[in-house]
Amino acid sequence: MGNLMDVCERAITGPVMSEKEFDMKVFIPRLNEVVKTYGIRYDRENPVPSDDRAADHLFDAAVEFMTKVGVYCLDTNRVMQFSREEVLTAVKEAPKVCYAGEGKEAGIFGMRKPDDPKNPWLHVGSGIVSSSEEYATNIVEGYASIPEVNSVNIPGLATLRGLPVAAGSPIEFYATIRGLRIGLEGLRRAGRPGLPIMNHHPTPAVAVTAIAASAPQFGCRPTDGWLCGAMAEMKINFDTLNRVAYLLAWGANVGAESGPMLGGLCGGPAGFTVLCTAYLLMGQLVQKGDYHLNFPFHFRHICSSTRDVIWGVSMAIQATSRNIQVPTIWAPYCGAGPNTKMYFYETAAILLAWTTSGAPSIMSPHPAKAVKVDGITPMEAKFAVEMGIAAAKLNRAKANDLVVRLLEKYESQVGTPPEGSRYQECFDVTTGKPKEEYVRLYHEVKDELSGMGIPL
């Protein structure tokens, strides 16, 4: 597999075409061809399939899709193409594990297989702006205080001293450093300063800010993780490649990031599952990821808890965990917010499906589509960790039965989910502990889920 210079060379020598041509004449028709050739079909009745052959078949489809489509460079208007041999070499040379964290908190983020009884890597937190400066430290401290947690995401900041954090401005740089200090302080307060932060940097939109704020004097460590995002769909720009170049030169963990959207350019569930799988190949070929963060979501409902997204991602996890060794965080979004039954049901369904499918990690789902400031608390993280551990004790067939029953509880509300509470409404901001009402709801739902056969 070539290095980043090889990627850059393809970005300036590949076939030239407009972005629209790439979407309409390459991406859409070739994805449709692959879906048809491989006979990939959505199975509505079984959101958690258990067919290993179908999973391997999906992986083959994704390899073919990758060789037929390539990756579009937005800065040069050229397509980086990869041969089948190159794709398969990338598969063979995939990292297998990611070393993350410092000192006592250093860990090895490794792989799992479908129906694997091994606990997943337990990753919690919200990746985008979700907390005000006032509560962010409390929230990170709460995440890190969950003993089983292996790594965290820290919040980004929307304002600094009341000024909006505008992309590419010096305010963005100052806010990035401030956000990082808040995250590190939260970890220190929990007594776990070495815990890896896997989403550097959540605040900045541009590489220059992210790179500048990564200077070691601000507290970043190469054993944390940096997200280097692809653009929808199968596109990249020099801004992302600049981040990758910097991190590779430093020796820091590169997180190849992508966000496949069901209903977008990939169309329905069949195209979506191929795309989810192919992004892990792109992450190795282009972003050179030490780990991958894929955040799949539904274009209309902006969440990952719909039946078709759960199915598509379950398939993709099975395909990738059986065929390529890339430690991957599958980052979900829930429609409902904290302190609602629906959030717990959505989380249970997602984590049962994806953990039994062989996801290397779980991540606590972003509540309320991640658009509500302070609409996230450590309680959701605690529940997700417990659910991830419980799910690892089950297999896909059992999870399928449970997910179908859970969908019955919330599916009709996916279009109009309850927003839920903000941190300061359901937590005591002084003690950093959940209020009685939220604790009661948590126990009520846990009892209900235990009664369904989930070993919580």
Partner 1 sequence: MEKQEILKSLMATIVEGDQEKARENSKQALLKQIDPLVAVEEGLSKGMAIVGKRFEQGDAFLPELLMAADAFKAAMEILKPVIALQKREVATAGKVLVGTVKGDIHHIGKDIVVTILETRGFSVVDMGVDVPSLTFIEEAEKAKTDVIALSAVMSTTMPAQKEVIDILREKKLRDKYLVIVGGGPVTQKWADHIGADGYGQTAVDAVGLVFKLMSKKR
Nearer to partner 1, 119 or 203 (CB): 203
Nearer to partner 1, 143 or 297 (CB): 297
The span from the CA of 271 to the CA of 62, in Å, is: 10
Nearer to partner 1, 91 or 227 (CB): 227
Nearer to partner 1, 266 or 336 (CB): 266
The span from the CA of 408 to the CA of 96, in Å, is: 37
Q: How far is the CB of 195 from partner 1 (least distance, A)?
A: 24
Q: Which residues are CB-neighbours of 138 under 8 A, at least 6 positions away?
A: 186, 423, 427, 429, 432
Q: How far is the CB of 28 from partner 1 (least distance, A)?
A: 5
Nearest to 329 by CA among 101, 109, 60, 49: 109
Nearer to partner 1, 130 or 357 (CB): 130
Q: How far is the CB of 164 from partner 1 (least distance, A)?
A: 4
The span from the CA of 259 to the CA of 96, in Å, is: 22
Nearest to 122 by CA among 113, 112, 134: 112
Given a contact cutoff of 8 angstroms between Cβ atoms, the answer to whether 330 and 291 are in contact is no
The span from the CA of 238 to the CA of 207, in Å, is: 9
Q: Which residues are CB-neighbours of 211 under 8 A, at least 6 positions away?
A: 242, 243, 246
Nearer to partner 1, 269 or 388 (CB): 269
Q: How far is the CB of 419 from partner 1 (least distance, A)?
A: 10
Residues that bind partner 1 (CB under 8 A): 19, 23-24, 28, 32, 74, 128-129, 156, 158, 164-168, 172, 203-206, 231-233, 237, 261, 263-268, 299-300, 302, 369-372
309, containing H or E segment: helix 307-323
Q: How far is the CB of 99 from partner 1 (least distance, A)?
A: 30
**Tokens, residue 362:** 């779980």
Q: How far is the CB of 300 from partner 1 (least distance, A)?
A: 6
Nearer to partner 1, 9 or 19 (CB): 19
Q: How far is the CB of 435 from partner 1 (least distance, A)?
A: 23
